[in-house]
Amino acid sequence: MKKLFEIIGGWITVIVDFFYPPFRKYVTLQFFRYGVTGAANMAFDWVLYFITFHFILDKQMLHLGFVTLSSHIAAMVLVFPVTFISGFLLQKYVTFTSSVLRGRVQIVRYFSVVIANLLLNYLGLKLLVDFLHVFPTPSKMIITIFTTMFSYFSQKKFTFKKIVAPKL
C-alpha cells in the first residue's frame, strides 16, 4: 500500500510542480505544494460535504440511538475522517516527502495539529465576532490566513520534520 501511495504521490507532485514556475519568485516549492494540496483537499471536503448533506443524509437528522445529530453536523462528522486521511496522505507523499519519521508518529502529530487548528478557529471566531464585533466571514478569512501559516510551520517543523545529522 505504501508503494502505491508513493507512486500516486509522485504523479500528483509532477502535476503540481508543472504549475509552479510563475510562483517561483514568491514562494518556495514546498510551500506551493502545501498550498495546492491543501486547497485541493479543502475542495474535496466541500464536495464530500455537499454530497453527504444533500444525498446521503437527505438533509435529515442522523439518529444514533444515544444521540441525534443535525444533518449539517452529521455531514461534517462523516466527512472529517475521509478528508483527514486524504490531507495527511497529500502532505506525507507530496509536500513533506523527505521526513524520516515513522508514519504512525506523523499521523498522531498531524492529528494534534488539526485539533490545534480547530481550537484556533474556535477561539479566533469567538474573539473577532463575539468580542470585537467583526463580521463572521471576514473573521473566518483572517483566521484562515493565520491557521494556514501555523499549520504549515507546524507540519514542517513538527509532524514531518527532517532529522538532521549533527555536524562534526
H/E element, 63: strand 62-63
Predicted TM-score of the model (pTM): 0.85
Half-sphere exposure of 160 (CA within 13 A, CB side): 20
Please report the pLDDT score of residue 168 as a whole number.
Answer: 67
Does the pLDDT of residue 56 top 80, yes or no? yes
Cα(2)–Cα(133) distance, integer angstroms: 48
Task: Quick: pLDDT tens for 70-114.
Answer: 888 888 889 999 999 999 999 999 999 988 889 999 999 999 999
> Per the structure block, which three cell numbers stand in for 128?
473577532
Amino acid letter, residue 110: Y
Please report the pLDDT score of residue 73 as a whole number.
Answer: 84
Please tell me whether residue 62 adopts helix, strand or coil conformation. Answer: strand
Please report the pLDDT score of residue 162 as a whole number.
Answer: 81
